[in-house]
Amino acid sequence: MSPQTPNTEPLLTVQNLQAWYGRAHILMGVDLTVGRGEVVALMGRNGAGKTTTMKAVMGLMDTRSGGVSFDGRDVSALPPHRIARLGLGYVPEDRRVFTELTVEENLEVGRQPPRPGAPSWTPQRLYTLFPNLAEMRGRRGGRMSGGEQQMLTLARTLMGNPSLLLLDEPSEGLAPRIVQQMAEAIRALKAEGLSVLVSEQNLSFAAAVADRASVIEKGRIRFDGPMQALLEDDTVRRQYLAV
């Protein structure tokens, strides 16, 4: 590593982010940060605005306003592919595997040049992290199980050598064993130095991976603090998470 002054500024800063679907106002002004090397859980009920927040950060919403800065750069007006090339990796909730493409080809679509300061990935390294995928390199995305697709989606995004991952509900609809693998994968990625913003409804999953939690409800952040503080705050949990 080249000698660098430690950068204490957060990797991702979102300020007063608003977004609309058509004329429906979904995000009313979201503020959140993700520090370097930090795993932050974005928690909230169905329809609270978790997915919309991720999409808006990624530039995938038609209408949005507010500030998004990534690695010191204002990305709020950039198109998605430019944002991705800066090192923001997006793993969508509905997976969106390219079903007509093989596992190898899916990974190829995600491939971007290595980026200084972020772990760099090859198919070989990813096959070590996700041994299941190694066994089905030639299989089409459409012929994989949900859990396998979820692994592939994550691996595909990692091929872009991101420094921050936006992971949208990675545990949703997966078997407990796969959820376990997913949590391990996230911890492994954190150990590599990756920062992660993970949206979750599952409190125990979030507690297993995240350092900090931001709770969203009706398009606004209602709680922000260490994961431990959320676990201890019954009121917030009951009011916004219904657990």
Partner 1 sequence: MSFYLVQFLSGLAAAATLFLVSSGLTIVFGVTRIVNFAHGSFYMLGAYLGWSLIERWGTTPLGFWGGVALASLAVGALGALMEVGLLRRLYRSPELFQLLATFGVVLVIQDAASYAWGSEDLLGRRAPGLKGSVDILDQPFPLYDLVLIALGPVVLGLLWLLFNRTRWGTLVRAATQDREMAAALGVDPAKLFTGVLFLGSALAGLGGALQVPREAVNLHMDMSIVVEAFVVVVVGGMGSLTGAFVASLLIGQLQAFGILVFPQITLVLVFLFMAVVLVIRPYGLLGRKEEAPPTAASPGPPLVLATGLVRWVPALLLLLLALVPLVAGDYALIVLTEVVILALMAASLHLLIGLGGLVSFGHAAYFGLGAYGSALLVKHLAAPMPLALAAAPVLAGVGALIAGWFCVRRSGLYFAMLTLAFAQIAWSVAFQWYGFTGGDNGILGVWPPDWAAGKAAYYLLTLALAGGTLFLLRRAAFAPFGYTLRAGRDSALRAEAVGIDVRRHQWYAFALAGSAAGLAGGLYAFSKGSVFPTLMAVPMSVDALVMVLMGGIQTLSGPVVGAALFHLLETEVMSLTEWWRLVLGLVIIVLVLAFPKGVAGFVRDLWMRRKEA
Binding footprint of partner 1 on the chain (CB under 8 A): 58, 60, 79-81, 84-85, 90, 92, 96, 98-101, 105-106, 108-112, 156-157, 160
Shortest separation between residue 160's beta carbon and partner 1, angstroms? 5
d(CA 183, CA 70): 25
Q: Is 237 helix (H, G, I), strand (E, B) or coil?
A: helix
> Based on CB atoms, which residue is closest to partner 1, 90 or 205?
90
> Based on CB atoms, which residue is closest to partner 1, 23 or 177?
23
Shortest separation between residue 223's beta carbon and partner 1, angstroms? 28
Shortest separation between residue 74's beta carbon and partner 1, angstroms? 19
Residues 40 and 73 sit within 8 Å (Cβ to Cβ): no
> Based on CB atoms, which residue is closest to partner 1, 108 or 135?
108
Shortest separation between residue 82's beta carbon and partner 1, angstroms? 8
Q: How many CB atoms lie within 10 A of CB 34?
A: 26
> Based on CB atoms, which residue is closest to partner 1, 140 or 237?
140
Measured at the CA of 44, the angle between CA 39 and CA 45, to 5 degrees, comes to 145
d(CA 238, CA 224): 15
Shortest separation between residue 225's beta carbon and partner 1, angstroms? 30
> Based on CB atoms, which residue is closest to partner 1, 111 or 238?
111
Shortest separation between residue 152's beta carbon and partner 1, angstroms? 12
d(CA 187, CA 196): 10
> Based on CB atoms, which residue is closest to partner 1, 73 or 96?
96
Q: CA 38: distance to chain centroid?
A: 12
Which among 179, 216, 218 is positioned nearest to 197, based on CA atoms? 216
d(CA 68, CA 31): 9
